[in-house]
Amino acid sequence: MRIKYSLRHVRLLGIALLLGCLSPLVHAAQAAPAAAQSTALPAPLPSPSAIHYRKKRTGLKMLFFRSLKDMKAYYTDPLHWKRRNWEYFGGAIAAVAIAHHYDTQVRNHFDAGSSRPLGGKPPSSATLTDAMPGFAAFALTWAYATVTHSSEGQSESWNMLESAGLASLTGFAMKYAFGRQRPYQTTNPNKWFAGGSSFPSLHVTAAFAIGTVLAESGNPRIRWLRRVLGYGIGLGTAYLRMKHNAHWFSDTVAAAALGIATAHFVMDRRARQAMGNSMVSVVPVRGGAMLAYAHDFN
């Protein structure tokens, strides 16, 4: 069979071949933008400031939830007290009772020769100045830890803040539960449940909470210096509150016991968390001693 091609047929065949050759190029050109879009540049890495901000937010969030757990543990801790804890509690009650016996004498000592009725209400500036020793101890500890990037210092300053917060919250509740009148309101130290807010002193509570953390933390080689400074802050604050006729002697003793006990609770809890709730001890046995390891899974 003979096939005849006209000029028209040749032209059509040439056009078809040309389109066939160009079609891959056309498809490639159309796919190029899509490929460019699908292979976009990776997102830029976050700046150091953004990373620091995220870490700071995460750290603050962790501290917040840790504080909530500590608050729960703090207020439920008496349910787990052992004999030694109850002995300390009884000793604190006895100390407050002895101090209460001398409330009038101490008040008369600071109020001797005063021409103001009942010694007069302390000036408003005294509320701020009497809180400065404790606040200065916390602020200087936090500033030093921040400048030197000391993790131990940051932990110590946070323990100060948490101890003062928990102790002050408890002291605030006790104030309005006992309702004791202040020395400038009455000369009778037995005015309890009378709408006052004297017992205990929040200034002294916070000062001893902060001071105890300062005294019992850090380098043991300078423990004596830390204790002089730490407990000196508490004693100095107690002296100022009595001098300004804002509190009875027993108010400051109760506040000291509350602040010290709270600080030890916070520090002991941090120590247990750092050790993973584990403890190694030596237990005496017949004919020698045994090394024991205990771990609390609660």
Contact yes or no for 185/196 (Cβ under 8 A):
yes
Other Cβ atoms within 10 Å of 216 Cβ, number: 19
**Does the pTM of the predicted model rise above 0.85?**
no
Question: Can you give the pLDDT at residue 271?
Answer: 80
Q: Residue-wise pLDDT tens for the chain (298 aa)?
A: 444 545 555 455 555 544 554 454 445 445 555 544 555 555 565 666 655 556 556 656 666 677 788 888 899 999 989 999 999 999 999 999 999 999 999 998 888 766 566 667 777 888 899 999 999 999 999 999 999 998 899 899 999 999 999 999 999 999 999 999 999 999 999 999 999 999 999 999 999 999 999 999 988 899 999 999 999 999 999 999 999 999 999 999 999 999 999 999 999 987 877 666 455 444 555 555 555 555 554 4
Question: Can you give the pLDDT at residue 106?
Answer: 93
Question: Can you give the pLDDT at residue 281?
Answer: 47
| H helical segments located in the chain | 7-38, 48-76, 83-101, 103-111, 124-129, 132-148, 151-178, 202-216, 223-243, 249-274
Whole-number Å distance between alpha carbons of 245 and 106: 10
Residue 289: which H helix or E strand, with range? strand 288-295
- Nearest CA to 66 out of 162, 180, 195, 168 is that of 162
Other Cβ atoms within 10 Å of 69 Cβ, number: 11
Question: Can you give the pLDDT at residue 3?
Answer: 47
Q: Is the dihedral of CA 220, 216, 127, 182 positive or negative?
A: negative
Whole-number Å distance between alpha carbons of 158 and 286: 45
Question: Can you give the pLDDT at residue 55?
Answer: 57
Q: Report residue 284: phi and psi, to 5°.
A: -70, 135
Whole-number Å distance between alpha carbons of 220 and 235: 22
Question: Can you give the pLDDT at residue 104?
Answer: 93
Residue whose token pair is 């400038």 = 184
Terminal alpha carbon distance of the chain: 98
Contact yes or no for 156/215 (Cβ under 8 A):
no
Q: Report residue 222: phi and psi, to 5°.
A: -115, 30
Render the burial of 76-91: b for 16+ CB within 10 Å, e for the rest: eeeeeeeeeeeeeeee
Question: Can you give the pLDDT at residue 47?
Answer: 65
Question: Can you give the pLDDT at residue 84?
Answer: 92
**Domains of the chain, start order:** 84-110+126-276 (1.20.144)
The two three-digit tokens of residue 186, written as one number: 């009455």
Contact yes or no for 138/200 (Cβ under 8 A):
no
Identity of the residue numbered 65: F
Question: Can you give the pLDDT at residue 118?
Answer: 67
Contact yes or no for 100/288 (Cβ under 8 A):
no
